[in-house]
Structure 1
């Protein structure tokens, strides 16, 4: 017959197992933050670009004057470095259960990814649409000189 103490783990092994699990969990949970910090540190040392630092934000406007007013306002507030205004985009979409069709003006806004949230909040306040279309696409790569210019153009 087995002795009861032979089925139990040695006294310190359970504590070691719990500690190992906690360390693994901490490593998994902090990986995204540590990766971002290490990429930024590497970027500052080498001058290389960290993908996702900048984004292109797309916003539809009902007409060119509103598009120009919004573009000027976000540039004045240093929420973007550049805005392209693309004329007459045809849009079809569902709105309140119906298919709608409209001619809109598309803004392509180049900004820092860290400013997208602030830009989105501003659009909800300044845009005439009840629910403005605002979404961003992170830039994976780009010309180093242009990306440096983006950074300089948005300095406060």
Structure 2
């Protein structure tokens, strides 16, 4: 199982998760709004509120999911991190695989 961690505007984050779930590229996503992001962009220090998203997918779909996420994302340089889950409960892993099966 792969975990995709990314940030987005609070408005766009749930829309991105919904699109990826609808397309069966991720099984689910958790949106954590109200995260304060301080960063340098184009020579200025920015201070904004974002949402952080944790989404789960399979090893086989992770590249397609991140490619689609980059295409839908409204940031010029979105932060998208892919992490490998060391382990997960067997029942959860089964559920995840079932959600990612194409109809």
SS of 2:71's equivalent?
Answer: helix
Aligned length: 102
Residue from 121, 144, 148 that aligns with 2:67: 121
User: What's 2:80 paired with?
Assistant: 134
For 1:124 and 1:141, how far apart are their aligned partners in 2? Answer: 27
Unmatched tracts of structure 2, length 5 or more? none
User: What's 2:7 paired with?
Assistant: 60
Q: TM-score, normalization: structure 1?
A: 0.62
SS of 1:79's equivalent?
Answer: coil
Which structure carries more relative contact order (alpha carbon 8 Å, separation 6+)? 2
| Aligned positions of 1:2-151 closer than 5 A | 54-63=1-10, 65-151=11-97
Structure holding more helix per residue: 1
Unmatched tracts of structure 1, length 5 or more? 1-53
For 2:40 and 2:78, how far apart are their aligned partners in 1? Answer: 14
1:89-114 CA-to-partner distances (Å, cap 9, x unmatched) read: 11112222332221101111011122
Q: CA RMSD in A?
A: 1.2
For 2:25 and 2:48, how far apart are their aligned partners in 1? Answer: 28
For 2:40 and 2:65, how far apart are their aligned partners in 1? Answer: 25
Q: TM-score, normalization: structure 2?
A: 0.91
